[in-house]
A and B are shown apart, each in its own frame.
Chain A
Amino acid sequence: MRFFLRRLGFYVITFWAAVTINFFIPRIMPGDPVRALIAKNQGRISTDAEAALRTLFGLEKETTLWQQYLDYWGLILRGDLGTSFAYFPTPVADVIAGAIPWTIGLVGIATIISFTIGTVIGSGIGWRRGTWADSLLPISTFFSAVPYFWLALIAITIFSVTLGWFPASGSYDRSLVPTFSWEFIGSVIYYGTLPALTIVISSISGWILGMRNMMVTVSSEDYVTVAQAKGVSERTVLFGYAARNAILPQVSSFALSLGFIVGGTLIMEIVFSYQGIGYYLFTAVAAKDYPLMQGIFLVITVAVLFANIVADFVYGVLDPRTRQEG
């Protein structure tokens, strides 16, 4: 229990840090880009929305910094992230709410698939080290070195432009109306296959390498030798003894590298014009839509924190030592 409380405390601190970073970034930046944008949209923004924007970007020079900070928290806790400039006059929160299911569906599922397959392959390679399986390592090194989005470009060239198997962009057939019909779901899966495949291929090598190295370390532990010596079947030794222990660091590194992976996969959405968070981040950058940019950063951080909490929970289930201490 103490383990979970400690971790929870840490996530509260991280959330606070992320909000605080978000608060200070526009305030320490030179120039006043938001003021110009507000002036440009004068009369079109309601007074309430304008006040919210002023609070978010620190344009209220008359109040103290502390008061601005408190007001800012008030807005964040009410879920008011300001008004988007690029999708005027939609509030940022609405834009993000429309995009986030797509991202969670695509990036979430692809990441979980990649982690699972990568861990299984990695334990196989680590177990049979010194055989042909080691030759997979240079290949996975290559894939871990290229940027995700470049692989996406290659995938589109091969599978969409040349072979024409998958659509090059979008998330579903635009002639369909989004409903819970089989036709629509099938279209979403069809459009999502290529992006998901690319995410899996580009992120899987990290999991393979990590698991392989842990397996090499763990398989020379005494308890593995003992299990082997007392005649436990190889399958049980592999999964019940070696992989069972080697997966622990894998899970904790999953939590830590999640931020990195999410960053990479968001760029993927840009290449595929997939209407998730990453794509909106891209349009926000291009349109200098600062409220949307900052709102997206906050939402991504919160999502990564949630994934971390889940990873911690899984770790707690897998490792009895975290549960023992009172």
Chain B
Amino acid sequence: MTIDINIVEEGEELAKPSQAPMTGAVSAAPGRRRGKRPKLLFLRNSKAVAGLVILAFFFLIAIIGPWIAPYDPSARSEDVLQPPSWEHWFGTTHLGQDVFSQILVGTRGVIVVGFVAGILATAIGVVIGVTAGYVGGLGDESLSVLANVFLVIPQLPLIIIIAGQLPSVGGVTVAVVIAITGWAWGARVLRAQTLSLRRRDFVEAARSNGESTWRIITAEILPNLTAIIASGFVGTVAFAVLSLITLSFIGIGDTGEWNWGTVLYQAQSQLALQRGAWWWFVPAGLCIALLGMSLTLINFGIDEFVNPRLRSTAQNARSLRKRGIRPRIGFTPVVREAKEDRA
């Protein structure tokens, strides 16, 4: 049930020994825990909750942004290069455009491209990764070489040369290009995990019961990959957001379509730095950082949810310090649920 993320990171041989202490801690009270397992364990993780709240906020802005924007983001006005004020919260550009409105309106483009690319890339990754891991043999070899080739080839220059040669680059096109170049990491991780699941007892049992391959994959293997698929998805969204913003920043894509990258592009090309117009590029960067942090926090939450060793480190740090224990080498991690049960 518990999936050790290390297997995923480093192939089977390195991680096997490290699994032993962990399963020991988890199975300390095997019988009693079943049934009483707390629901929504994931949401008890403060990191995950913080990440989800920030992400929900940006989702809201993405939906209502264009309506609540105080000005038309492209409309020029007399107030040229104004620092932040009550009329213009984030100041104005060299043409008197309202930066706050540009950011509000631009959120939608960022979120849409990020999630469309994330969903597409995850889909490709799941299909290729699970197939490679489950089929094995020559099919596995060739699919993993394909994934590794895409991992090693620098994605950003590849995206640039593809997007740079397209005659018109809308948001969805960029999303598709990012997905085509960015699926490999998820596929690699999923393949490693499928490989280790494939020979587990419950899969063997299903196979000897005569279940079809399709059913084994969808009903036995995929549910056990949920956490990894989720964390791969979140990671890909973060990658897609960064790629989109970088592309817009260097002027690839539709510059009439607002997103945080185009705001930065304008700021850079209109010499905002030299004019000291910090309000022009600081908010967009902070938004990117916030969104990226929320995604990273969600991923930390998933990691800790999946790997109890990391969880116990994070949750018990303060209580350990209070008791004067310094967590170090050979320190057996105690899962909180197990401890509560024993008491």
A-to-B contact residues, CB < 8 Å: 10-11, 13-14, 17-18, 21-22, 25-26, 29-31, 33, 127-131, 134, 141-142, 144-147, 149-150, 153-154, 156-157, 160-161, 168, 213, 216-222, 224-225, 228-229, 237, 242, 248-249, 252-253, 255-256, 258-260, 262-264, 266-267, 270-271, 281-282, 285-286, 288, 290, 293-294, 296-297, 300-301, 304-305, 308, 321
Contact = CB atoms under 8 A, between A and B. Distances in A.
A220 B309 contact: yes
B310 A216 contact: yes
B285 A30 contact: no
B227 to A, nearest CB: 16
Interface stretch (B93-101, B149-157, B194-202): B149-157
Contacts of B264: 149-150, 153
A144 B288 CA distance: 11
Given A150-B285, A216-B309, A228-B330, A293 B245 contact: no
A178 B309 CA distance: 55
9 contacts: A10-B145, A18-B153, A146-B285, A146-B289, A157-B278, A225-B329, A249-B14, A293-B165, A300-B157
Contacts of A228: 329-330
A256 B152 contact: yes
B293 A145 contact: yes
B1 interface: no
A18 B150 CA distance: 9
B157 A263 contact: yes
Contacts of A266: 156-157
B156 A141 contact: no
A21 B285 contact: no
A260 B184 CA distance: 12
A130 B313 contact: yes
A147 B293 CA distance: 12
B156 A263 contact: yes
B274 A144 contact: no
Interface in B257-291: 264, 267-268, 273-274, 276, 278, 281-282, 284-285, 288-291
B23 interface: no
A222 to B, nearest CB: 7
Contacts of A161: 273-274, 276
B154 A144 contact: no
A270 B246 CA distance: 11
A205 to B, nearest CB: 10
Contact of A282 (B250, B273, B316): B250
A301 to B, nearest CB: 6
Contact of A130 (B18, B158, B326): B326
A213 B6 CA distance: 10
Contacts, number: 201
B102 to A, nearest CB: 16
Contacts of B327: 129-130
B331 A222 contact: no
B157 A213 contact: no
Interface of B: 6, 9-10, 13-14, 17-18, 21, 145, 148-149, 151-158, 160-162, 164-167, 238, 242, 245-246, 249-252, 264, 267-268, 273-274, 276, 278, 281-282, 284-285, 288-293, 295-297, 300, 309-310, 313, 316-317, 320-321, 326-333
A271 B268 contact: yes
Q: Specify which of A259, A301, A304 lies most central, judged by the most chain B CB atoms within 10 Å of its CB.
A: A259
Given A131-B321, A267-B250, 17 more contacts: A30-B166, A130-B313, A146-B285, A150-B288, A222-B17, A228-B330, A258-B154, A259-B152, A263-B246, A264-B246, A266-B157, A285-B164, A285-B250, A293-B164, A296-B157, A301-B154, A301-B157
A253 B329 CA distance: 24
A270 B268 CA distance: 10
A22 B160 CA distance: 12
B246 A267 contact: yes
A153 B264 CA distance: 10
A149 B249 contact: yes
A149 B274 contact: no
A79 B289 CA distance: 41
B154 A237 contact: no
Given A26-B165, A130-B320, A154 B285 contact: yes
A163 B223 CA distance: 55
Q: List the 6 closest A-B pairs by CB distance, nearest first.
A: A263-B156, A145-B292, A225-B330, A259-B154, A150-B285, A130-B317
Contacts of B288: 145-147, 150
A267 B273 contact: no
A145 B289 contact: yes
